[in-house]
Structure 1
Amino acid sequence: MDGGGVRVRALRPFARSVAAVTDGGTRTELAAEGDGFFSGVLPAKGTALPAEGYRLAVTYDDGEHVVEDPYRFLPSLGELDLHLIGEGRHEELWKALGSQPMTHEGVTGTRFAVWAPNARGVRVAGDFNFWDGTGFPMRSLGGSGVWELFVPGVGAGTAYKYEITRPDGSRGMKADPMARATEVPPATASLVTESAHEWRDQEWMERRAAVPVHRAPFSVYEVHLASWRPGLTYRELAEQLPAYVKELGFTHVELMPVAEHPFGGSWGYQVTSYYAPTSRLGSPDDFRFLVDALHAAGIGVIMDWVPAHFPKDEWALARFDGTPLYEPSDPRRAEHPDWGTLEFDFGRTEVRNFLVANAVYWCEEFHIDGLRVDAVASMLYLDYSREGGDWLPNAYGGRENLDAVAFLQEMNATVYRRCPGAVTIAEESTAWDGVTRPTHLVGPTGFGGLGFGLKWNMGWMHDSLDYVAHEPVHRRYHHNEMTFSMVYAYSENYVLPISHDEVVHGKGSLVSKMPGDWWQQRATVRAYLGFMWAHPGKQLLFMGQEFAQGAEWSHDTGPDWWLLDPDYPAADDHRGVRDLVRDLNAVYAATPALWQLDTDPDGFAWIDGGAAEDNTFSFLRYDTAGDPLLCVSNFSPVVRENYRLGSPDVVWKPVLNTDAPRYGGSGAAAADPLKTDPTPWNGRAHSVSLTLPPLATLWLRPA
């Protein structure tokens, strides 16, 4: 108050004059105080401004402009929001921080809010103020570390950044950590956005939780959206990807990271905007449209999520307010030695909240059905890729990152509580105990479970690929590499991944790993896929491998679709492998024995896991009713006639033969049907004699 009115101050650099004009028409000229400040007293009743409000009439060289004064509005963030942010428990953080279009005190505009506790000042700059934040300093909301400003007239599509005054007095422009849309890289500004998408997947969302993932069919096609069909937008992908994946029979797609990243060559694994789908392919609503289309086709959507580290770009998260904020202050914990990036400070409540809320955000705002969490091992171990003197032990002297353990437990528990039917999947490359154990159950190491739903089986992947890479004559010496996985198969809920990591950086494509001539390479791939789909665990296959692409994956060119062109001489060879993948998925989905007891030892039994001299593997899978499926794999390039296997006393009918002519095979086949006889074999009272095709896998069911 100032005498009989309320003093109004305005900062309008370069203005010639400023007046306050009430909605009732009263005009009060504000006196210039220098440096762009103007001040005057408006008549008021009691301690309140005029009930009708006021606007500023600002005169520049080009004339007068009547604008709203952001500082006549009270903060739009409530005490509950600030309390939850301070406690690190705001599970809908994206609704409190960032840019939010809204109507506030009867006026439309956008609220900007950012967490920068160590900043001396924060201004919002954008295309609405010619990227000069001088006239738009944000309010500090006390000890919360949050700065806030409601800017009238600003709406969706506006580009902006925060101008941070650091503790040392220097300034820098930062993108909004909570931005929900961004400019197309290499531009780095954040964009104000609001969704107008109307979801049509209600039925999908309601039924996805009906059966737990580990007891349901789960076959995943991994996709890099930008290169699957290079040049397609989210909406154009929605016209092609769902139909292709559905035709192949996969139950889910896994999208390599979608969150915005400045360098396309990182494939999305160096994220700068955790809340924004990459703008390279369209808007956030365009991405929603793609997810909706996949759900309409009956396909679940899993997204790679990267909470382990972030890049050092000066305009992004690194030293956000002039101090280590999202990263630990000690460089021995902050620096990620493998990727030249920074790790998150998982022990800081606001940082943990930023990440936990982000996991929920993708599931709730984009209807994502699962998160595959990248590089979990690098989070769990303080000495990960570090030498002896380059890391600090935890409070108990150990190498475990206790803060990261607590974060992962909180993230998983929160996602499963808030998002029924969603699944979290860990890419964890060590033998950490209890990755898929519930968080409330403590294991022998003293840690509670991490709470993931599934875990990538990196051991199976490395061992099995090593086995098939050997010439058949040498495979007998590596037989245990294919059987060892069953020693630990039920220690976690596993996914068997042949991911992008296995077909880049000189590793060659899946088919190129196989020895022998072109026929043998394709035959071995087919036999391997048949073995993989029958092995306990879910399946994941990276794009291009479904049709035996010979070249490594390139993020610039994507899969070699031309290999399937009818005019290409070897097109039938590649189409045969693709047809096999389609049939594997179809038989798999129709055969509960292959997924109903995936995480239960009762669902598996070896017939002969020790036939090293023959390069064969035979086992049974069972469903909950006890009905079996027999899988036999022959990794030798010879036909094995009258090959006897112990068997339940049933009549077997082949339901899949990877050597079938339509897949490019030789056509050697087991008889149909196959009757067992009372000849004891492999420790069983009955057995069956059959023909094993060369480099092939057979699936048989009771007739």
Structure 2
Amino acid sequence: MDRSPNTPASVPTMVERDPWLRPAAAEIADRGRRFADRLGDIRKWNRSLSDYANAHLYFGIHYDPVRRGWWFREWLPGAKEVFLFGDFNDWERTQYPAERLPDSNGVWSLFLPDKTTCGRLRHGSRVKMYVHGADGTWMDRIPAYIRRVVQNETTKDYCGQVWEPPTPFDWTGDDYDLNTRTARDGGPLIYEAHIGMAQEREGVGTYNEFTENILPRIKEAGYNTIQLMAIAEHPYYGSFGYQVSSFFAPSSRFGTPEELKRLIRRAHGMGIGVVMDLVHSHYVKNTNEGINRLDGTDCLYSRPGPSGQHPQWDSMLFDYGKYEVQHFLLSNLKYWLDEFHFDGFRFDAVTSMLYRHHGISAPEWGLDAYFGDGADRDAILYLTLANELVHEIRPGAITIAEDVSGMPGVTVPIREGGIGFDYRLGMAIPDFWIEYLKDVPDEEWNLYRMWEVLCNRLPGVRTVAYCESHDQALVGDKTIAFRLMDKEMYFSMNRGSQNLAIDRGIALHKMIRLVTSTLGGEAYLTFMGNEFGHPEWIDFPREGNGWSYAHARRQWSLSDADYLRYIDLKRFDRAMVDLLKRYKILSAGYGYRLKIDEANRTLVYEQAGLLFVFNWHPSASIPDYELPVPEPGKWRVVLSSDEERFGGAGRVLSGERSGEYFTYARTDGDGATRNYMRIYNINRSALVFERVD
């Protein structure tokens, strides 16, 4: 059997490395064997996994320059009859029937030559299928592999659009390997963004607006990676893109596929990678727009009956054990990589995929939950194949798993027995901050628990640390800035105001971000606007708000105005990102705790050769505060969250204006000689020291 270099050993390395996993060794090894067997079967009939993942080049609608005409193909095994119609034949439903190919497991095919009356079919034509389903229904449907879907402004219904421009898009000069930049910076610095709500005007933003107006802001902010939400077509705008209807069609409400390509090309030219927020965990239930019941059965892309439905999301679940579904999803990955040059994927709702209970009423997480009957072996196999494929096509691409369960092996390389993701989201970190901000006064925050939460990851489990993402910004929740300052943000963010709630909020906002980014993981993420404390929440147009766009936008001008204090937070975030890159903090591993002083609310640690001092006390600033240092010599402050340019009081100078701090040796009570120095330990501030001699 032709086995991949990633084929796990009979005794997986991840088990040898972690004795806790030994009771699950047989299951972990069996997962590896299933992957190797499936990969071997694929390679038996294809040159490679990448060659196999080309369903999008066969299915859908494609022009044949040799035969001079258009091919239409679709997988609809339960269908009794299938027709293609559209504006090219004046929407006559039954004029052009497709033929069910023999021995194809339900593939329907139609060739439309240019010389016939269907010569009006061309790039830009609007099309639909007319399907006589297995259940006896006749329905107008959109092909599953269609590359563009558009909405009729009058009737509001959707239809497919033939999208095959005569001139290929010119990628010249801007192609880009994501790892080249992130390795230089120490790791991914991710700016999570939504195209539609990225503009300041009330309305739906476009790919072009994002390219011209937002990319320069992200570049200026110092981030090296953009994570784009809501790219695949979705009929309900307010779903944030998580109810996908057409998996191969970039959302037309933002513009054309070429305009999305131009955005990515421009980002690459700026040295910024672009990761797609990918939804392969479920799909929209709608039959008018989506792939549900496309052939008249309830088990085309899903398992039959209730097992094919997600009870909480009112959506459909994929049947990952069906080869045609694997083919569809793997080809979807290759399509976005090849056609749009995305630099990787953030896989949404991986927890729902990993388990048959989808994380609903989940048992206590442990070996029995991770490796017992509740785990979905088919989904695990698909995710392993997906990671193998992404890295085969683009070795520099990154994959990120949104998994709250903490299943062992998610970020372990496939050859060591894992699923092969590069990173996982550190979802416990924002949960911790929300809990503390809601329920615990900051003068009572437990610094030992803070340290434990921020450092709670196994070696080798590369984690994306974040304080808040889009989840915390939605209606029903609050951003950190809004939790800290709430209604006071409406009245007291002007520089002339004297407001203790605003002072506290700005101080803690900076500290929370700095401690999270320097301790929490090997990558860091922020959601657009949150870096400067964007006020209020995200609320998409809906009946309850009068279909308003007032809260589905980003007010960038707030962070540009010198007379408002949002600019202070923006400047600090840029300085923090510069610090992360300059000292490669994200790739430095765990921080080393030097001191927790609960009485004075002070946390001291070393990371990447720097000394971090956080004083969380609401009022106590301590002169001549003694703290341990990792190395003797002369130190200086390279960053202070209390600098005036960050909205602070400027009590400690930094950079070239920093004073010099000299260490001294002292023999402690245990007989050990250690190095110490004394500083002005200012309240609600963070100081970062660098050894200079």
User: What TM-score, normalized by structure 1, do the two folds share?
Assistant: 0.80
Q: Sort the Cα spacing of 1:518 and 1:388 in 2 relative to 1 into closer, same or farther, 3 A.
A: closer
Taking a change above 3 Å as real, the CA distance of residues 84 and 318 of structure 1, as seen in their structure-2 partners, is farther
Tell whether 2:649 aligns with 1:666: yes
1:252 is aligned to 2:243: no
Cα distance, 1:188 vs structure 2: 1.4
SS where residue 292 of structure 1 aligns? helix
1:190 lines up with 2:152 in the alignment = no
Task: Mark the CA change 1:654 to 1:199 in structure 2 (over 3 Å): closer, same or farther.
Answer: farther
* In 2, Cα distance between equivalents of 1:318 and 1:487: 40
How do 1:130-529 and structure 2 match up within 5 A? Answer: 130-144=90-104, 145-152=106-113, 153=119, 154-184=121-151, 186-195=156-165, 196-200=167-171, 202=173, 204-205=175-176, 207-210=177-180, 216-229=186-199, 230-315=203-288, 316-386=290-360, 398-442=373-417, 449-469=418-438, 470-476=440-446, 479-490=448-459, 492-497=461-466, 498-514=468-484, 517-529=501-513
Shift of 1:211: 7.2
Matched, 1:117 2:77: yes
* CA-to-aligned-CA distance 1:102-121 (integer Å, 9 cap, x gap): 3242x2x3211101012112
1:587/1:481 Cα in 2 relative to 1: closer, same or farther (>3 Å)? closer
Contact 1:254 1:301 in 2 (8 A): yes
SS at 2:158's partner residue?
Answer: coil
Q: 603, 615, 637: which is aligned to 1:634?
A: 615
Say whether 1:657 aligns with 2:636.
no
SS in structure 2 opposite 1:360?
A: helix
Rounded Cα–Cα distance in structure 1 between residues aligned with 2:404 and 2:127? 40
In structure 1, the partner of 2:3 is: none
The equivalent of 2:518 in structure 1 is 534
Residue 98 of structure 1 is matched in structure 2 by 60
1:149 Cα deviation from its structure 2 partner: 1.0
User: Please, which moves more after superposition, 151-160 or 401-410?
Assistant: 151-160
Structure 2 segments unaligned to the other structure (5+ residues): 1-41, 114-118, 486-499, 541-548
Equivalent residues of 1:88, 1:349 under 8 A apart: no
1:437-463 C-alpha deviation (Å, 9 max, x unpaired): 012223xxxxxx111011100112222
Question: Matches of 1:520 and 1:209 in 2, distance apart?
Answer: 38
**575-584 or 380-389, larger mean C-alpha shift:** 380-389
Matches within 5 A, 1:686-697: 686-697=675-686
Deviation at 1:157, TM superposition (A): 0.3
Report what 1:605 is aligned to: 592
Aligned to 2:27: none
Q: Mean alpha-carbon deviation: is it higher for 665-674 or for 317-326?
A: 665-674
User: Whole-Å Cα distance in 2 between the matches of residues 182 and 386 of structure 1?
Assistant: 33
- Check whether the contact 1:215–1:597 (CA below 8 A) recurs between aligned residues: no
- Give 3-state SS (helix, strand or coil) of 1:554's partner: coil
- CA distance in 1 between counterparts of 2:239 and 2:412 reads 31
Distance 2:643 2:332 in 1: 47
Q: Is 1:161–1:175's contact at 8 Å kept on the other side of the alignment?
A: yes
Higher strand share: 1
1:574 aligns with 2:552: no
Counterpart among 602, 625, 628 of residue 616 in structure 1: 602
Partner of 1:595: 586
Distance 1:464 1:508, change over 3 A: closer
Looking at structure 2, the residues matched to 680 and 380 of structure 1 have their Cα atoms a distance apart, in angstroms, of 53
Letter in 2 for 1:649: P
Q: State how 1:1-150 maps to structure 2 within 5 Å.
A: 90-105=52-67, 107=68, 109-144=69-104, 145-150=106-111
Opposite residue 290 of structure 1, the aligned amino acid is L
Aligned AA (2:246)? S
Instruction: Work out whether residues 181 and 271 of structure 2, in 8 Å CA contact, stay in contact via their aligned partners in 1.
Output: no
Q: Which amino acid aligns with 1:566?
A: A
Assess if the C-alpha contact under 8 Å between 1:553 and 1:559 holds in 2. no
Paired with 1:530 and 1:301, the residues of 2 have a C-alpha distance of 24
| 1:408-453 Cα distance to aligned partner (Å, 9 max, x none) | 00001011011121111011111210111012223xxxxxx11101
Contact 1:218–1:252 (Cα < 8 Å) also in 2: yes
| Alignment deviations for residues 2-34 of structure 1 (CA, whole Å, 9 cap, x no partner) | xxxxxxxxxxxxxxxxxxxxxxxxxxxxxxxxx
Q: CA deviation at 1:257?
A: 2.2
Indicate conservation of the 8 Å contact 1:88/1:353, yes or no. Answer: no
The alpha-carbon distance between structure 1 residues 237 and 275, as it changes in their structure 2 partners (threshold 3 A), is same
Letter in 1 for 2:622: R
Query: Offset of 1:552 from its aligned partner?
Result: 1.2
- 1:612 deviates by 2.8
Code of the aligned partner of 2:61 = S
| Residues 680, 687 of structure 1: 8 Å contact kept | no
Q: Is the 8 A contact 2:356 2:375 kept in 1?
A: yes
CA 1:260–1:621: 2 relative to 1, 3 Å: same
**Please, which moves more after superposition, 553-562 or 491-500?**
553-562
8 Å contact kept, 1:363–1:422: no
Task: Give, as a single letter, the amino acid of the residue that structure 2 aligns with 1:606.
Answer: R
CA shift digits 1:568-598 (9 cap, x unpaired) = x5x1x10000011111112221112x03334
Corresponding letter in the other structure for 2:264: V
Q: CA offset at residue 680 of structure 1?
A: 5.1
Residues 192 and 527 in structure 2, CA contact (< 8 A), matched pair in contact too: yes
Cα drift, residue 402 of structure 1: 0.5
2 CA distance for matches of 1:589 and 1:350? 43
RMSD of aligned alpha carbons = 2.8
Q: Is the 8 A contact 2:60 2:146 kept in 1?
A: yes
Q: Residue 51 of structure 1 aligns with which residue?
A: none
The answer on whether the counterparts of 1:546 and 1:581 sit within 8 Å (CA) in structure 2 is yes
**Inter-partner Cα distance in structure 2 for 1:512 and 1:355:** 39
Q: Which portions of structure 1, spanning 4 or more consecutive aligned residues, are displaced by more than 6 angstroms? A: 681-684
- C-alpha change, 1:464 and 1:100, in structure 2 (3 Å) is same
Other structure's SS at 2:65 match: strand
Task: Name 1:685's counterpart in structure 2.
Answer: 674
Contact 2:559-2:570 within 8 A present in 1 as well:
no
* Per-residue deviation, residues 363-402 of structure 1 (Å, max 9, x unmatched): 111010110000000111111255699xxx99x9610001
C-alpha spacing 1:606/1:680, structure 2 compared with 1 (3 Å): farther
Alignment of 1:548 with 2:533, yes or no, is: yes
- Structure number with bigger Rg: 1
What amino acid sits opposite 1:663 in the alignment?
F
Check conservation: 2:665, 2:673, Cα contact below 8 A. Answer: no
Percent identity of equivalent pairs: 26
Alignment check: 8 A CA contact 1:646 1:680 kept: no
Q: CA deviation at 1:202?
A: 4.4
> Larger relative contact order (C-alpha < 8 A, sep ≥ 6)?
2
**How far apart are the structure 2 equivalents of 1:88 and 1:631?**
46
> Could you tell me which amino acid in structure 1 is paired with residue 242 of structure 2?
Y
Letter of the 1:503 partner, please give it.
A
Mapped partners of 1:388, 1:455: distance in 2: 20
